[in-house]
Amino acid sequence: MPTPSREPNPITSFAPATTAAEHHIPPSPRTHRALRKLQSAHNLGAAARNAANANGAQTSLISQQRLKDIQEIGSTSQMLRQASNRSPQRTRSNSDAPPPPPNMVPSSNPPVPLHHKRSALSRTSPTADAVSLERLIRDGPPDDDVRGALESARLKVLDQGIKTDSDGMSSSRIYAWLILLDAPFLETDAYLKLIHRGASPAYSKIRNDTFRTLTTDPLFRRRVSEASLIRLLNAIAWKLHDAKEEQRRPPSSRQSLPGGSSRPSSSRSDVSMQTSSPAAKKRARALTLTTEGSEVNASEPGTYVQGMNVLAAPFLYAARSEAEAFVAFHRLLTRECPGYIRGAMDGVHRGLALVDKVLAIVDAKLSLYLTSKGLSAEIYAFPSVLTLCACTPPLPEVLRLWDFLFAYGPHLNIPCIVAQLIMMRNELLGSSSPNKLLRSFPTLQADQIKRTALAIVKMIPDDVYAEIVTHAL
């Protein structure tokens, strides 16, 4: 990364050197090997649930761990700081193929949450450390050490990445994502029922978005059809609509109708976005929340946000079926960043404020310069926050960055965005109109972004890191 001639870059000196892992094209799995892989992913989740039940834990520990993240955020031993000191890519997608049988959709409920606190690095499994990530996913945790195997898997993602071909395709990536996202078991019939319900309340908005999803990316356009994207988003909209209807009902009457459907609502209204500048208001209107079939309430879950089409695209590209993409995407929206699709998208706005705050901490000069030009994150970083940087090409680099985000938490997208600003530092400071440069970020360089983001994590105070962890909830 280039540095100014008169002033050292505040990040460069902290970024650890890494060794680029050599990526090889994975062989196409035969049917029985694919079945073994799916079954082992299911067994990994089952083993985790059994371990949790044996310890008297609840079925899902992610909510408990998030509370611990805040309570223990002041620990002097930083997990990500330790990780940063370590040395850190199929022909056509099967997104249009019939989903696999229910027993082949992987299930996972690992006891180690995605939102890590910056505490001491969890114990890894020596046996798991000795095998590849692909074998770990295929065969499951050695010696039934689920926690150690999960930690080993996370470090393998950071150190070596996931093996891919030149187009960023991998036979094991979607299963790694399902495990790291704590995705539940999904019967394919449940997804098909959502499809067969027809147009959701947000269908017209979805159709207005899908045809322009990643239009400049030939890899995506060649592998994922618009019809597949429409089906996925429409199913997600129905699922979120049902959750909203369930939340509105009095507790005594919360009961699903046959087929998992809910009583439709006839009320319609629009959400008015509250922003601080005309440019930000224009951006907010372009990314406004679709609230057809719902009432305006900042505490309610949303149905569809314009921009979710871009957020869904990498899941369809990486998955081997729509059902897999659906369960991973739904899990991300409802468990990791529900604030992004709730009410007036308050989680996105909190994330934008944190981009400004973190940039001011790690590079005061660049922050002041952008501020003097009237540039806040509300103006230039809205798509990057909402889509976890999926709006910036190329798609194979997006997938590599998402491997890191799902391993250590989607909240780390905030320092990843700041990292991209740092990587543009010379150009921004040397431009009289930096807004032109920020209209579209430079192409993603996942490895350099990860290194710079880990260096940023070292520099920010614990209370700011705690805000980052919880901003999307």
Domain that holds residue 72: 31-180
Averaged pLDDT for residues 432-451: 95
Q: Does 63 reside within a domain?
A: yes
Q: Does 56 reside within a domain?
A: yes
Look at residue 52 and tell me whether its pLDDT is greater than 50. Answer: no
CB 443, CB 392: distance < 8 Å: yes
Averaged pLDDT for residues 296-306: 63
Averaged pLDDT for residues 9-31: 43
Alpha helices, DSSP H, located in 345-445: 346-362, 364-372, 377-380, 382-386, 395-408, 413-423, 425-429, 434-438
Q: Please, what is the angle between helix 446-459 and helix 395-408, to 10°?
A: 30
Q: What is the pLDDT of residue 83?
A: 46
Q: Does 58 reside within a domain?
A: yes
Token pair listed for 341: 């699709």
Look at residue 224 and tell me whether its pLDDT is greater than 90. Answer: yes
CB 333, CB 472: distance < 8 Å: no
In the chain, what percentage of residues exceed pLDDT 70? Answer: 63
Q: How far is CA 393 from CA 213, 215, 259, 442, in A?
A: 12, 11, 39, 8
Q: CB neighbours (10 Å) of residue 14?
A: 18
Residue of 420, 348, 457 whose CA lies nearest to 15: 457
Q: Does 117 reside within a domain?
A: yes
Look at residue 403 and tell me whether its pLDDT is greater than 90. Answer: yes
Into how many domains does the chain fold?
1
CB 468, CB 354: distance < 8 Å: yes
Average pLDDT in the chain: 74
Residue type, 241: H
Q: Does 98 reside within a domain?
A: yes
Q: What are the φ and ψ backbone dihedral angles of 165, each rounded to 5 degrees?
A: -90, -175
Q: CB neighbours (10 Å) of residue 73?
A: 17
CA–CA dist 304, 288 (Å, integer): 9
Residue of 412, 424, 239, 248 whose CA lies nearest to 334: 239
Q: Does 145 reside within a domain?
A: yes
Token pair listed for 238: 């129905």
Token pair listed for 154: 């996370």
Q: Does 307 reside within a domain?
A: no
- Beta-ladder partners of 301: 342
With tokens 């998955």, the residue in question is 319
Highest mean pLDDT (candidates 2-11, 106-115, 239-248, 327-336): 327-336
Averaged pLDDT for residues 33-39: 43
Which segment of 39-53, 241-255, 283-297 scores lowest on mean pLDDT? 283-297
Q: CB neighbours (10 Å) of residue 248?
A: 16
CA–CA dist 292, 139 (Å, integer): 45
Residue of 81, 11, 4, 5 whose CA lies nearest to 359: 11
Q: Does 435 reside within a domain?
A: no
Q: CB neighbours (10 Å) of residue 200?
A: 25
Look at residue 201 and tell me whether its pLDDT is greater than 60. Answer: yes
Helix-then-strand count for the chain, H and E: 24, 2
Residue of 390, 101, 95 whose CA lies nearest to 228: 95
Q: Exposed, middle or buried by CB within 10 Å (0-12, 13-18, 19+), for 211? A: exposed
Averaged pLDDT for residues 14-37: 41
CB 140, CB 37: distance < 8 Å: no
**Which pLDDT band, with edges at 50, 70 and 90, does 9 fall under?**
low
CA–CA dist 152, 156 (Å, integer): 6
Q: What is the pLDDT of residue 166?
A: 85
Q: What are the φ and ψ backbone dihedral angles of 264, each rounded to 5 degrees?
A: -70, 155
**Which pLDDT band, with edges at 50, 70 and 90, does 141 fall under?**
confident
Look at residue 445 and tell me whether its pLDDT is greater than 90. Answer: yes
